[in-house]
């Protein structure tokens, strides 16, 4: 199976032309890379500018579970589907912390992403969140969910998780969801440590925050895996 590398731009960059520039630099840098599923998750407002191309897929950083209606400020999973998103990040720790997302909300969001034919990337920092955040999802659909293990201490700190601990958690997640489940690592990934999470800790891919805002660093990460 192809390794998956996901860029989570979070609330960056400020200007549309900066987003376009970042995207085109990454696109240029990865032209010849074939064996990796590369995904960019920009802020919602840039989704239409950054059309998905054959070697870069489009993802969103969150979604709302209802299709449409009187829900001021929300962006529905159905709308994201229409914009050709293939993936949606759900339950990122920043959403849980700043926006008080609960396990009930996360369950609903995962359900909405699946029912619109997209792939949810559920972010967790503790094993028990798997059960809590997927309690309304049944057996067959579970296979479609990607888990991103993102330990809190490692997010945006430069203090990445040790390969040993990451490997152990990866094995525990697979013990629950099955050996064929797709588990990513996220938290201070850089071009220096990326390959160890893949080749030593056996993750199926990476969720990259800060380093994805620097096109050359991000391309280096991709190249170190391919």
Question: What are the residues binding ligand PGA (CB under 6 A)?
Answer: 8, 150, 155-156, 186-189, 207-211
Min dist. Cβ of residue 73 to ligand PGA (A): 22
To the nearest whole angstrom, how small is the minimum distance from the Cβ of residue 103 to ligand PGA?
A: 19
DSSP 195-217: HHHHHTS--SEEEESGGGGSHHH
Q: In this complex, which beta carbon is closest to ligand PGA, that of residue 80 or of residue 151?
A: 151
Smallest separation (angstroms) from ligand PGA to the CB of 60: 14
Please tell me the distance from the alpha carbon of residue 209 to that of residue 156, in angstroms, as a whole number: 7
In 3D space, the residue among 15, 27, 12 whose CA is nearest the CA of residue 210 turns out to be: 12
Task: Indicate the residue among 156 and 175 with the shorter CB distance to ligand PGA.
Answer: 156
Provide, rounded to whole angstroms, the least separation between the CB of residue 15 and ligand PGA: 20
| CB-CB neighbours of 60 under 10 Å | 25
Q: Which two tokens stand for residue 203?
A: 């993750």
Q: How far apart are CA 153 and CA 92, in angstroms?
A: 14
Q: Are 26 and 40 in contact (CB under 8 A)?
A: yes
CA pair distance 102, 91, nearest whole angstrom = 9
* Alpha carbon of residue 160 to chain centroid: 17
Beta bridge partners of 31: none
The residues assigned a catalytic role are 92, 150
Q: Contact, 5 vs 33, CB < 8 A?
A: no
Q: Are 121 and 207 in contact (CB under 8 A)?
A: yes
Shortest CB 92 distance to ligand PGA, Å: 6
Taking each helix axis as running N to C, give the angle between helix 215-225 and helix 16-29, from 0 to 180 degrees, rounded to the nearest 10: 30
């Amino acid at each position: 199976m192809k390794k998956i590398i996901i860029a989570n731009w979070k609330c960056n960059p400020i200007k549309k032309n900066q987003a376009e520039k970042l995207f085109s630099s990454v696109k240029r840098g990865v032209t010849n890379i074939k064996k990796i599923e590369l995904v960019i998750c920009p802020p919602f407002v840039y989704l239409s500018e950054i059309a998905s191309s054959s070697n870069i897929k489009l993802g969103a950083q969150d979604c709302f579970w209802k299709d449409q209606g009187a829900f001021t400020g929300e962006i529905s999973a159905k709308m994201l589907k229409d914009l050709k998103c293939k993936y949606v990040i759900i339950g990122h720790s920043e959403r849980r912390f700043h926006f008080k997302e609960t396990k009930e909300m996360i369950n609903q969001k995962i359900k909405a992403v699946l029912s619109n034919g997209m792939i949810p990337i559920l972010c967790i920092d503790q094993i028990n969140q798997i059960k809590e955040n997927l309690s309304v999802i049944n057996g067959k659909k579970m296979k479609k969910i990607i888990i991103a293990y993102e330990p809190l201490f490692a997010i945006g700190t430069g203090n990445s998780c040790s390969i040993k601990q990451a490997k152990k958690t990866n094995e525990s997640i697979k013990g629950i969801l099955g050996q064929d489940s797709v588990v990513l690592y996220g938290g201070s990934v850089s071009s220096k440590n990326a390959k160890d999470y893949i080749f030593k800790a056996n993750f199926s891919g990476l969720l990259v925050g800060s380093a994805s805002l620097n096109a050359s660093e991000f391309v280096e990460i991709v190249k170190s895996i391919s």
